[in-house]
């Protein structure tokens, strides 16, 4: 495994997006735990979760609890694993998603996440999505309070614009270490946020990084999948999966990029982890 900078620490250049292990069409627990363990065996030290990654009403924190169980049952050393969770979203019980960026909610959610995950502080706590009903500075200010109180080790923001990154950076300073936005072969309109993150020294965690090539856990069965792209051509030439080529391409865009592909099977994350050994510079443009 290779590593990249996240704040004052380093994590694996490929992380594990744990969401598919808890939402709709999730695997049974044995396979879910095996998937996390396969990631750890492959050298993955960044696991991304959220309190809103659950399926049914009343399951808040399902994914956080699952990740905590997987780490506690792993036979090896997990002291260098950084768990990144998020607060500010929820599930409506009918498949929909809600948003709540009120400071009181975020602080209570972080405390609940810490209790589920265990330990003295949350490794990386991310504001899941801006709430249009709450001033951005107030939501970010809650992260500042959590950081100052020692509840969280690092702060991150997700689904944000360049202006929101700048404002959050002004409020949080060095406490802000990451931006998690959607970015993939099919979704590249947020490239300015990647460029700004790189300039500010923030890690950029693209969610749904295989979009357009492989279905996201958020896509329905009719989600569009591309075929015959340059990614497919390189994959055929190199004898590797197209998913691995896409992740290698993302890694080549900036040293700030740390993809967090989702996985619901051990083989998926094992394949994704291999992207760190694949060079596609010069083979793919744009």
Catalytic residue numbers read 53
Asked if residue 47 lies in contact with residue 67, where contact means CB atoms within 8 angstroms, the answer is yes
- How far is 115 from 5, CA to CA, in rounded Å? 27
Residue 214: closest CA among 251, 258, 250, 246: 246
Return all residues near 248 (Cβ < 8 A) that are at least 6 apart. Answer: 275, 276, 278, 279, 280
Q: What is the DSSP string of 188-246?
A: -TTHHHHHHHHHHT-EE--BSTTTTTS--TTS-TT-----SSHHHHHHHHHTS-HHHHH
Q: Strand, helix or coil at 16?
A: strand
**Sequence-distant contacts of 24-30: CB under 8 A, at least 24 apart:** 24/55, 24/95, 24/217, 25/217, 25/264, 26/55, 26/264, 27/264, 27/265, 29/66
Beta bridge pairs of residue 6: 9
Task: Give the separation between CA 214 and CA 199, rounded to whole angstroms.
Answer: 30
- Alpha carbon separation from 173 to 129, 155, 202, 247 (Å, rounded): 19, 10, 11, 29
Between CA 159 and CA 162, with CA 161 as vertex, the angle to 5 degrees is 135
């Amino acid at each position: 495994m290779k590593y990249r900078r996240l704040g004052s620490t380093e994590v694996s250049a490929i992380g594990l997006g744990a969401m598919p292990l808890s939402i709709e069409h999730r695997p049974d627990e044995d396979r879910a735990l095996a998937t996390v363990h396969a990631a750890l065996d492959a050298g993955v030290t960044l696991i991304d979760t959220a309190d809103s990654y659950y399926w049914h009403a009343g399951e808040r924190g399902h994914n956080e609890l699952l990740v905590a169980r997987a780490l506690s049952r792993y036979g090896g050393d997990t002291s260098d694993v950084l768990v990144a969770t998020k607060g500010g979203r929820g599930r409506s019980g009918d498949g929909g998603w809600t948003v709540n960026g009120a400071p009181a909610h975020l602080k209570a959610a972080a405390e609940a996440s810490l209790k589920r995950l265990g330990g003295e502080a949350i490794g990386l706590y991310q504001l899941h999505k801006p709430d249009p009903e709450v001033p951005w500075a107030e939501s970010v200010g809650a992260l500042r309070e959590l950081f100052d109180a020692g509840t969280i080790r690092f702060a991150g923001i997700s689904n944000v614009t360049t202006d929101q990154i700048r404002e959050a950076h002004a409020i949080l300073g060095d406490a802000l270490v990451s931006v998690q936005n959607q970015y993939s072969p099919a979704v590249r309109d947020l490239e300015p946020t990647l460029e700004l993150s790189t300039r500010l020294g923030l890690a950029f965690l693209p969610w749904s990084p295989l979009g357009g090539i492989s279905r996201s856990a958020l896509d329905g069965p009719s989600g569009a999948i591309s075929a015959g792209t340059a990614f497919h051509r390189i994959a055929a030439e190199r004898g590797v999966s197209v998913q691995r080529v896409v992740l290698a391409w993302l890694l080549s865009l900036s040293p700030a990029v740390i993809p967090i592909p989702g996985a619901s099977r051990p083989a998926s994350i094992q394949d994704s982890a291999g992207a760190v050994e694949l060079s596609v510079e010069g083979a793919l443009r744009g």
